[in-house]
Amino acid sequence: MIYDVVIAGAGVIGSMIARELTKYELTVCVLEKENDVSCGASKANSGIIHGGFDPEPDTLKAKLNVEGVEKLFDAAKQLNVSIIRNGSFVCAFSEDEEEHIKALYERGIKNGVKGMEILNGEQARKIEPNLSKNITLVLSVSTAGIICPYELTIAAIGNAMDNGAVLKTNFEINKIRIIKDLFSVYSNDGDNVKAKYFINCAGTYSDKIAGLIGDNSFEIICRAGEYMLLDKCEGGLISHTVFQVPSKEGKGILVTPTVDGNLLVGPTASLVETPDNKETTALGLEKVRNLAGRSVENINFRNVITSFAGVRSSEKNGDFIIEESKAGNNFFNVAAIDSPGLSSCVAIAEYTVSLLRRKGMCLVSNKNWNGNREDPHKFKKLSDDEKNKFISKNSDYGKIICRCENITEGEIRAAIKRNPPAKDLDGVKRRTRSGMGRCQGGFCGPAVMRIISEEMGIPMSEITKKGNKSKMISGRL
């Protein structure tokens, strides 16, 4: 078959564009090189919805961030993804930094950001008692918020699939042939997909994908950011997202509650050679620990439950690249989406579709489109009576598998069945939170492996942590 659109990359951008396209009578195929969606920067970032004061005025970043915030809140509501408008604080520690805060405020006004206010240290500490005593001035932005980025990505692609989009995982693109007006896309394994339009959302690999049609107009700079996630017992330390004054490398080390109630600190920003360089380093983690303690006091790092790194892609000009490639008719690059990419993702999707429309793509509304997706954590939120009804219909909901997060066998089985299906332990973890808690899968791991094996009809020896060769066991005794 020939698809109308093929999208390279099932990160938050590719997934949101896929969902946007299913609003129309179009056939859409998303190609993802990993075993699951949301495996790149979309799974390992701060999960912050930025107010929009940071990007330089008149850039795509400024426009799409400010436009994108409300659109994202609306989409998250439809998709039943937790989103909290907790507000953000940008903190200054010195006179120099106070000047910077004032400049950010001015820039925010230019960008059209609402809900900004400048507070002195004392006022800010009244709201956030654990804020450092050394903070002298704070830019408060009430429109900012937090979201779980992989949950959003999973929901977006899942909803796109519910509306007819096709997802092909383990499809690593190694060749694109342009035959007349068609893109013929080949995978490493010789699989082939044909489409009329190509949208390149390949994140840190987007320059290499563009290179496959001879487009060498941009080069992705990879920057790794390391994070530490703390137990829920630390989650109540602050309610706002607390930034320090940004530097050239990024928005600095932040301290934020997550939508799930944990505390997240990070990221560092170090240039890395390869996009796959997702290692944490002793130095990086040390830096996170030290700098986080600079803005928020009383963080107990004994309660760290995991640390991780994500690789962000940027480009030397500093702005998003969202345009048709000069090297290929109907080939669109949506690249260099670093911060505020998550905040802008819905706006980016709409903007991309508007470029397609301008190119003459015929967009007929899909009358059957349903933008709603059932909440994967619905069960947990039910009253006891409602839970009992659920359990009486399906007793799997009465078996708690993950004791840290109280996740039931029913929820895990559902995550393996629904769009996009979980196929490995990390996939189950991102969808259900089983294994996400303080024991990090120590107790539930073997049970989740058994459930995957039963649902997918594959032997235990085939169960992986994250696809390919990441096998969990080496054989039968």
Q: Which stretches of the chain bind other proteins, using CB under 8 A?
A: 228-229, 233, 276, 278-282, 284-285, 304-308, 384, 387-388, 391-392, 395-396, 398-400, 403-404, 406, 408, 438-443, 445-446, 450, 460-461, 464-477
| Ramachandran bin of 313, using left for φ above 0, alpha for ψ from -120 to 50, beta for the remaining angles | beta
> Please, are residues 192 and 185 in contact by the beta-carbon 8 Å criterion?
yes
CB of 454 to other proteins, least distance (A): 13
Q: Which is nearer to other proteins, 73 or 308 (CB)?
A: 308
Q: Which is nearer to other proteins, 370 or 470 (CB)?
A: 470
Greatest pairwise CA separation for the chain in angstroms: 67
Q: Return the DSSP state at 131.
A: B
Which tokens go with 68? 């994108």
CB of 183 to other proteins, least distance (A): 29
Q: Which is nearer to other proteins, 9 or 441 (CB)?
A: 441
CB of 476 to other proteins, least distance (A): 6
CB of 413 to other proteins, least distance (A): 14
Which tokens go with 49? 């919805």
Q: Which is nearer to other proteins, 330 or 464 (CB)?
A: 464
The residue behind tokens 């928020």 is 296
Q: Return the DSSP state at 246.
A: P
262/225 Cα distance (integer angstroms): 19
416/452 Cα distance (integer angstroms): 7
CB of 364 to other proteins, least distance (A): 43
CB of 293 to other proteins, least distance (A): 15
> Please, are residues 226 and 213 in contact by the beta-carbon 8 Å criterion?
no
313/260 Cα distance (integer angstroms): 26
Q: Which is nearer to other proteins, 372 or 388 (CB)?
A: 388
Q: Which is nearer to other proteins, 332 or 390 (CB)?
A: 390
95-111 and 60-79 helices, crossing angle to 10°: 70
Q: What angle do CA 377, 445, 303 make, to 5 degrees?
A: 75
50 is catalytic: yes
According to DSSP, the residues that pair with 464 across neighbouring strands are 471
Question: What are the residue numbers of the active site?
Answer: 50
